[in-house]
Amino acid sequence: MPQITYDDFAKVDIRVGRVVQADEFPLAKKPAYKLRIDFGPELGIKTSSAQITKHYQPAELKDRLVLAVVNFPPRQIATFFSDVLTLGVILGDGAIVLVQPDRDVPLGAPIR
C-alpha cells in the first residue's frame, strides 16, 4: 500500500452530514440509493450515489449522520450527479456499512 503524507491527507475534506432524503436508484449499474445530505449552512445540501442497499432501506437512512468527502468534483452516474463520496466500510462480500459519528455533532464539522 502506498504511503501518503499528512499534507496529502489534509487535502481530503471529510465532513459530517445528515441524510435528508434517500431514494431508489434503478438506473445505477450496481444497486445504489440517491442520497441528499445536509452539510450545514457552509456547504448546504449535496447529493451522493451510495451502494449501501444490502444493509439499509431508504426510510431508515433519513436523519442518519454520515461522513463524506466533499471536495471531489461531481461525478455523473447514469442521469444523476453525485457531489460527494459517502464513506463506508467494505465488507468481504462487497456490501458497505456506513461510517458515522457515535453521537450528534454539528453538520459540516470537519474530520481529522
- Contact in structure between 96 and 90 (CB atoms under 8 Å): yes
Structural domains of the chain in order of their starting residue, each with its CATH number: 12-98 (2.40.50.140)
Which is nearest to 35 in space by CA: 80, 75, 78? 80
For residue 51, the SS3 value is coil
DSSP state letters, 71-85: -SPPEEETTEEE-SE
Q: What is the pTM of this model?
A: 0.94
Query: Which pLDDT tens digits describe the chain residue by residue (112 residues)?
Result: 899 999 999 999 999 999 999 999 999 999 999 999 999 999 999 999 999 999 999 999 999 999 999 999 999 999 999 999 999 999 999 999 999 999 999 999 999 8
- Contact in structure between 89 and 96 (CB atoms under 8 Å): yes
